[in-house]
């Protein structure tokens, strides 16, 4: 199970890594919305709708920032859980090895040997429980990351609608059309970046889910 636990950690980290540049992209979107709002102000009545759209964009940016903060917490916790799980699994393996060697030997004092065996079994049970608990929490973190990725995809789709509406407003903005159209085109590039992040994360989350199912089966078999 140690190898599968390491694989689960790697897959979780790949998913987190997919969003490594989310903070920078969210900040770029925030700055774009501020510049677009200034342009909308200069456009007067022609920029009223664009101003409203840019304000909504900043609400979406706020959601991205909160999701990024949540994911940073999940990432740190996942590291800690994996380290604790691997330590417990290593201890369990060493105890099994020691128990096997002890059983192969003829004890000088059978009562003492039996007492020692019971102590090792109790310690092994504790290590197994600790490893199982941490592995299940790692799996839950992977699922939660998948939920966050889905929410980021929703933000991307909502932002795409804003970009389309700004492009529509640009067509009727007269001399302000180039400025508004540039905002719409730039936002589209940012949206493509968000979608690419989610696509990479989804693949890693799917792999983590598969590994998690394998680990769950092994844990269930070991308990039986």
Scan for tokens 């989610």, then name that residue: 198
C-alpha angle 63-67-69 in degrees, rounded to nearest 5: 120
Per-10-residue mean pLDDT, the chain, length 224: 88 94 95 94 92 94 95 93 88 77 63 70 80 88 94 96 95 91 96 96 93 83 68
Give the whole-angstrom CA distance, residue 137 versus residue 216.
12
Prediction pTM value: 0.85
pLDDT at 93: 80
Please, are residues 54 and 43 in contact by the beta-carbon 8 Å criterion? Answer: no
pLDDT at 104: 61
pLDDT at 69: 94
pLDDT at 107: 60
Give DSSP secondary structure letters for the chain: -HHHHHHHHHHHHHHHHHTTTHHHHHHHHHHHHHHHHHHHHHTGGGGHHHHHHHHHHHHHHHHHHHHHHHHHHHHHHHHHHHHHHHHHHHHHHHHHHHHHHHHHS--SSHHHHHHHHHHHHHHHHHHHHHHHHHHHHHHHHHHHHHHHHHHHHHHHHHHHHHHHHHHHHHHTSGGGHHHHHHHHHHHHHHHHHHHHHHHHHHHHHHHHHHHHHHHHHHHHHHH-
By C-alpha distance, which of 184, 178, 149 is closest to 64? 149
């Amino acid at each position: 199970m140690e190898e599968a636990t390491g694989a689960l950690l790697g897959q979780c980290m790949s998913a987190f890594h997919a969003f490594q540049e989310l903070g920078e992209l969210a900040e770029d979107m925030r700055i774009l919305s501020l510049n677009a709002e200034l342009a909308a102000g200069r456009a007067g009545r022609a920029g009223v709708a664009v101003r409203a759209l840019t304000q909504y964009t900043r609400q979406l940016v706020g959601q991205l920032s909160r999701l990024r903060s949540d994911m940073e917490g999940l990432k740190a916790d996942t590291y800690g859980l994996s380290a604790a799980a691997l330590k417990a699994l290593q201890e369990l393996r060493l105890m099994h090895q020691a128990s096997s060697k002890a059983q192969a030997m003829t004890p000088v004092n059978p009562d003492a040997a039996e007492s020692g065996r019971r102590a090792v079994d109790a310690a092994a049970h504790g290590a197994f429980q600790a490893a199982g608990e941490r592995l299940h929490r790692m799996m839950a973190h992977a699922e939660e990351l998948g939920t966050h990725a889905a929410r980021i995809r929703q933000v991307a789709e909502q932002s795409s609608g804003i970009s389309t509406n700004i492009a529509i407003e640009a067509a009727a903005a007269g001399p302000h059309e180039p400025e508004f159209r540039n905002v719409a085109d730039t936002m589209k590039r940012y949206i493509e970046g968000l979608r690419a992040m989610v696509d990479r994360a989804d693949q890693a989350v799917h792999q983590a889910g598969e590994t998690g199912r394998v680990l769950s089966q092994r844990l269930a078999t070991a308990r039986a």
